[in-house]
Amino acid sequence: MYTAQGRIKQGELFTQYMPLVRRHALTLQVRLPASIELDDLIQAGTVGLLEALGRFDAAHGASFATFASQRIRGAMVDELRTRDWLPRSVRRAARAVDDAIRRLEQQLGRSPEESEIALALEMPLGDYQQLLNDTNSGQLLPFEELVADGGEPVSFDVSNLPFEKLLDEQQRQTLIAAIEALPEREKLLMALYYQEELNLKEVGAVLGVTESRVSQLHSQAISRLRARLHDSA
């Protein structure tokens, strides 16, 4: 049972953290199909914030800001999981890219270039880059299921990623190694997007490329990470 004072404090926290709900919603929206409405994400995030207010226990050591952020984002992801918004053809294409990258890395002993991946997929480079745009919307949930909070600080700091703890220590170290093996531009992109929380336009400005190109590079980076994590499983 909450006291009157407790209810007032919850109301104040709710007002204080509602902008965080919108911020998370905007961050997710740029990587989702146009059919996913911002208001739907905000509604789901609001439910997550309310759950955070009801379940937060300061005795566990985490700050309310961290706890609320996890609950808000988790609620949005749960909402997305209930929707069959990604066509099967796009899922198949994403798996094909992963497989091609995995084969090439085994053959070449290094991260393959875009042109090499396109050749392995038997398609022109332009078609491959369009495929990356198409599959980028499908990368959100699988990557969140792979990435964990925690890990040793590296040039791309996994410990600052806003995701739930889903991996044990060995898997975290494998992920860190996979991130370190990314081509420098893709590693920088991931740091800017996930750690610094820049949007696609801002990341593009830093890299000197268009938002569409950022989307392509992001999709490719995720495929590289999944391929390496698959090999280590």
Q: In angstroms, how far is CA 9 from the centroid of its own chain?
A: 32
**Residue 96: closest CA among 128, 61, 133:** 128
Tens of pLDDT, residues 119-149: 999 999 999 998 888 777 555 444 444 443 3
Q: How far is CA 6 from CA 9, 11, 49, 141, 224, in A?
A: 5, 9, 16, 35, 48
pTM: 0.61
Q: What is the pLDDT along the chain (233 residues), one digit of tens a residue?
A: 344 444 447 778 888 999 999 988 887 776 666 667 888 889 999 999 999 888 887 777 778 888 888 899 889 888 877 765 566 777 788 889 999 999 999 999 999 999 999 999 999 999 999 888 877 755 544 444 444 333 333 344 444 444 434 445 566 677 788 888 899 999 999 888 877 878 788 899 999 999 889 989 988 998 898 888 776 65
